[in-house]
């Protein structure tokens, strides 16, 4: 059953009792020419009294920069979440404000934190050790089409233009008319039980896409997504076909993706992975990459692709 979205869904939701009940906001951006990009995620685990905060920034020819803290104190639940939708969090490593400006259309994030520079992105799986650098950003996502509500779970996605600035040390990056994506999800979310692939991006003819599907052998748990045509019409899709190749560190290399009637090949260009560890010490590799996408008729573009690969759990290429 499809979620009936309202402005209140930009705000926090009353948590369930499961330890893994969480609420998250995810936002990304990928320059049209692939020269820079990044993603941010705030994940609240109220029953564990912590929040996960991620900022991953990539630039062509430059090392990955990561601000990640999985021990941010979870903010208290407002008495009236719909009246107080802005979420503010702070730890010794990062401080952030996540604020809906125009419900279901416009969203702003500000962050100040301490990042780690990783010359080899796969070092994110091995402790994230590297030189530190200050990071500051102020970014706004403006939707290009209505938010897309999932049928399978409590979650919505939206393609967007991104504007603002990112500062890494003494380098300032102006983010202007940059394609991006955002989502908001709430419910029990167990990263360690099955594998999936998620993707979003924009082609140079003005086509946007979003897709997500399970990548479990012989079992189709879910597949969903949408296309936004150049006329800005959003079209849900029910078929997503994913193929991918991984390197020795389980980082994506190349593959093919079909979203409805849109068929593309992709090549990973800039990597930004995460290692996910459960309260019981279960592990999942979560490789993410800014990728270049191409169609057989010559269209091309960029976007983000992720794989969730829990240890000991089969996926299509295991």
Contacts 24+ apart (CB under 8 A), 113-120: 113/53, 113/55, 113/67, 113/69, 114/67, 115/55, 115/57, 115/65, 115/66, 115/67, 115/168, 116/65, 116/66, 116/67, 116/68, 117/63, 117/64, 117/65, 118/63, 118/64, 118/65, 118/66, 119/63
Task: Please tell me the predicted confidence (pLDDT) of residue 42.
Answer: 99
- Residue 1 counted as domain residue: no
Alpha carbons 201 and 150: distance in angstroms, whole number: 18
Domain assignment present for 213 = yes
Number of domains in the chain: 1
State the residue range of the domain holding 241: 20-310
pTM of the shown model: 0.97
Q: Using one digit for the tens of pLDDT, what is the confidence trace for 89-131?
A: 999 999 999 999 999 999 999 999 999 999 999 999 999 999 9
Tokens matching residue 183 = 């989502």
Q: What is the CATH number of the domain that holds 119?
A: 2.40.370.10
pLDDT of residue 68: 98
- Report the pLDDT averaged over residues 167-195: 98
In percent, the amount of the chain with pLDDT more than 70 equals: 99
Q: Residue 12: inside a domain, yes or no?
A: no
Which residue in this structure is represented by tokens 């993706």?
257
- Asked whether residue 55 carries a pLDDT value surpassing 90, the answer given is yes
Structure tokens at 50: 């912590």
What is the pLDDT at residue 81?
95
pLDDT of 1 higher than 70: no
Would you say residue 134 lies in a domain?
yes
Q: Compute the mean pLDDT over every residue in the chain, rounded to the nearest whole number.
A: 97
Token pair in block for residue 140: 């706004």
Q: What is the structure's pLDDT at 3?
A: 79
Q: Is 232 part of a structural domain of the chain?
A: yes
**Each residue's pLDDT tens digit, 281-292:** 999 999 999 999
Question: First CA to last CA across the chain, in angstroms?
Answer: 32
Positive or negative torsion for Cα 105, 12, 209, 203: positive
Residue 156 to residue 150: CA distance in whole angstroms: 6
Predicted confidence (pLDDT) at residue 316 exceeds the cutoff of 70: yes
Specify if 315 maps to a domain.
Answer: no
What per-residue confidence (pLDDT) applies to 152? 84
Confidence of residue 19 (pLDDT cuts 50, 70, 90): very high
In a domain, 286, yes or no: yes
Residue 144 lies in a domain: yes
Token look-up 């020269």 returns 35
How many CB atoms lie under 10 A from the CB of residue 7? Answer: 13
**Rg value, the chain, Cα:** 18
Render pLDDT for 221-259 as a digit per residue (tens, 0 to 9).
899 999 999 999 999 999 999 999 999 999 999 999 999
Asked if the model's pLDDT at residue 2 lies above 90, the reply is no
Q: Parallel, antiparallel, or unpaired: how do β-strands 21-30 and 94-102 relate?
A: unpaired
Which pLDDT belongs to residue 318? 79
Rounded to 5 degrees, φ, ψ at 94 are: -155, 150
Read off the pLDDT band of 317 (50, 70, 90). Answer: confident
Q: Which residues contact 275 (CB under 8 A, 6 or more apart)?
A: 124, 125, 283, 284, 285, 286
Q: What is the pLDDT of residue 23?
A: 98
DSSP 8-state assignment for residue 250: S
pLDDT for the residue 247: 98
């Amino acid at each position: 059953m499809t979620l009936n979205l309202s402005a209140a869904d930009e705000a926090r939701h009353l948590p369930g009792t499961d330890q893994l009940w969480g609420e998250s906001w995810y936002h990304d951006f990928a320059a049209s020419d692939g020269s820079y990009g990044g993603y941010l995620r705030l994940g609240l685990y109220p029953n564990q009294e912590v929040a996960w905060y991620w900022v991953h920034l990539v630039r062509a020819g430059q090392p990955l920069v990561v601000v990640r803290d999985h021990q941010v104190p979870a903010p208290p639940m407002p008495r009236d979440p719909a009246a107080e939708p802005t979420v503010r969090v702070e730890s010794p490593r990062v401080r952030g404000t996540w604020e809906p400006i125009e419900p279901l259309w416009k969203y702003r994030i500000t962050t100040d934190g301490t990042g780690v520079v990783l010359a080899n992105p796969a070092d994110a799986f091995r402790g994230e050790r590297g030189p530190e650098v200050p990071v500051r950003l102020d970014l706004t996502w403006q939707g290009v089409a209505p938010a897309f509500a999932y049928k399978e779970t409590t979650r919505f996605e939206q393609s967007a233009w991104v504007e603002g600035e990112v500062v890494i040390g003494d380098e300032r990056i102006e983010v202007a008319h940059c394609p991006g994506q955002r989502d908001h999800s709430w419910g029990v979310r167990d990263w360690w039980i099955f594998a999936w692939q998620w993707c979003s991006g924009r082609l140079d003819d003005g086509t946007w896409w979003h897709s997500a599907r399970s990548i479990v052998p012989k079992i189709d748990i879910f597949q969903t997504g949408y296309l936004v045509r150049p006329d800005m019409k959003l079209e849900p899709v029910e078929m997503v076909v994913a193929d991918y190749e991984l390197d020795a560190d389980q980082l994506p290399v190349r593959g093919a993706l079909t979203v409805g009637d849109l068929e593309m090949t992709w090549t990973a260009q800039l990597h930004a992975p995460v290692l996910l560890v459960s309260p019981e010490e279960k592990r999942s590799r979560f490789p993410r990459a800014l990728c270049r996408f191409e169609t057989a008729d010559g269209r091309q573009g960029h976007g983000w692709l992720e794989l969730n690969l829990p240890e000991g759990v089969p996926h299509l290429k295991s």
